Amino acid sequence: MSQQDIEKNQVIKSVDMTERFGKKEVDGIVRCDACPVLCRIRPETTGACDRYANRSGNLVRVDPLVLVEKSLEKGEELVSFVEGVDEWDGNPIRGAETFVTAVGSGTTYPDYKPAPFIVSSEYEGVDTITVVSEGIFSYCGVKIKIDTDRHLGPETASVYCRGEQVGHVTTGEYGSQMLSLGGVNHLTGGSKKEGRVTCETLLALCNREAVELNIEGGSTVVVEAGKAPIINGVEEQRMRVGCGSATIGMFAQQWHGHVDEVIVVDDHITGVLTEHQAGKCLDIPPSGIRVNGRRSTPGRYFQVANPGSGWGGTDITDPLSIIKSIDQKVAKPGMRVLLTTTTGEESTFCVLNENFELVPTETPAAVEKVVNRIGENCEPSLCSVLFIGGAGGSLRAGVTENPVRITQSVKEAFARVTMGGAPVYVWPGGGITVMVDVIRMPRNSFGHVPTPALVAPIEFTLNRDLYQEIGGHMQHVQPLQQLEADYSASARREQRLLDNPWPLKPIDQS
């Protein structure tokens, strides 16, 4: 990276860097100890992570500090702010209407240093402290939710990226297939290449880039947070409205009088209208049609076919192949039978002829209307990427000299945890294990170090008196107004997402 490129970005104050890290060596080289790699950075170049650089013999943070502003009206979207953009009036004093995120802030490594920014502000009459740091997460991964009924691969099957195993298929959930990628075993427990590819895969996914994954014994999937999955080259369109049984229950009354039987094909639970409780309540007579699979409760069948990318997440392309038998003592020629799926994307309308054979024919408009309504009730198919990581010693020591006190404060709900200003879910049990939807964070919130590990922003916000009580680094607290004045020219400003609660809002401690 050239000096001109570095000049455009944020420069961490030399006074802070010389106090904490950035040891100078001969020939203008600076030793960076922001991670265990300990790069020796020559003048006007960057370290291995591209996050730190040597500018005129000083260690600087290349990426800008990100400030989130609480100035959105309903219906507006995320807006990025950079120097010279007219929408921002240039006033650096925003008070508690500005939240300092950890994106671009720097790290606490090697653990004993206070966090790069410990910021005081007042909101709704409450004095708060926000401790801001970029954490190095060796223990981290992503959980991916892919809205599809298509069979991606067997449960526990290995997931590969660029030939290296980076995770596995986990339990499927309602209308979605789930993947678990990363984790310390893939980052550090395999070959050097496996660790590097795993880190690069996680980084791309967390920064909302598209990644192609190959599932052992299954499909090739392109995953991008907030976008539809592309499965074996085909972009998925709809998430199913429900299982086959639920679809029967939802639309039975609308089919009543237009058909004599409906079979909703589903890999998990196939529904049969006349046997289903919905059909019984509507007094629809039995059709005499029996489908393959294991009968669970009336009108609900498991294992009608093998998993696949065909109808309803099964391996069939001919829906009539799931018909096991037709009882001629019950069935009547002329019966109208609809076979469809839980998304309504596939459907076949048949009439039973004199030989008790189902003959496909044109779907009546009234029946087609209900099939289309299934599609109307399907949500768009999306990929969701949730980062999960454990906040270890370096993060907690950067908050307080007695790290267990911040853990206790988080568990007792006296301290709020955010990542890039976005809300997180804190897992119960020991430690601080957090999970966050990357869509709710500022873009490019994540970085990496070549150890390999991900770098992710994390913020702890709590009452000022409590922060002092738990042994916080009070001597490093700086007012928000002063920080904004110092970084008014270099910070990147973004307006918060409306779905995100304001991080400085006082915690109800009643």
The whole-number pLDDT of residue 21 equals 57
pLDDT digits 0-9 by tens, 108-128: 877 778 999 999 998 888 899
Q: Is-contact 238 380, C-beta < 8 A?
A: yes
CA 477, CA 25: separation in Å to the nearest integer? 30
Percent of the chain surpassing pLDDT 70: 90
Sequence-ordered list of residues with C-beta below 8 angstroms from that of 445, at least 6 positions apart, any chain: 66, 101, 103, 206, 207, 419, 420, 438, 456, 457
Nearest to 420 by CA among 12, 63, 160, 55: 63
Nearest to 99 by CA among 446, 493, 433: 493
Beta bridge partners of residue 358, listed in sequence order: 352
Dihedral of alpha carbons 285, 290, 296, 301, sign? negative
CA 324, CA 17: separation in Å to the nearest integer? 74
The whole-number pLDDT of residue 71 equals 66
The whole-number pLDDT of residue 107 equals 86
Nearest to 507 by CA among 458, 466, 462, 460: 462
CA 430, CA 224: separation in Å to the nearest integer? 31
Burial (0-12, 13-18, 19+ Cβ within 10 Å), 318: exposed
The whole-number pLDDT of residue 87 equals 42
Mean pLDDT per 10-residue section of the chain, whose length is 510 residues: 44 39 81 86 91 88 89 46 38 63 87 88 90 92 95 95 97 93 94 96 98 96 97 94 95 96 96 96 96 95 93 93 96 97 96 96 97 95 97 84 92 94 94 96 93 94 94 94 87 87 79
Nearest to 176 by CA among 377, 345, 313, 344: 313
The whole-number pLDDT of residue 509 equals 59
Beta bridge partners of residue 144, listed in sequence order: 179, 385
The whole-number pLDDT of residue 79 equals 39
- Predicted TM-score (pTM) of this structure: 0.86
Q: Is-contact 338 284, C-beta < 8 A?
A: no
Q: Is the peptide bond before 286 cis (omega within 30 degrees of 0)?
A: no
pLDDT digits 0-9 by tens, 191-202: 999 999 999 999
Sequence-ordered list of residues with C-beta below 8 angstroms from that of 473, at least 6 positions apart, any chain: 114, 115, 118, 398, 399, 400, 401
The whole-number pLDDT of residue 90 equals 45
pLDDT digits 0-9 by tens, 329-373: 999 999 999 999 999 999 999 999 999 999 999 999 999 999 999
- The backbone torsions φ and ψ at residue 272, rounded to the nearest 5 degrees and listed phi first, read -125, 115
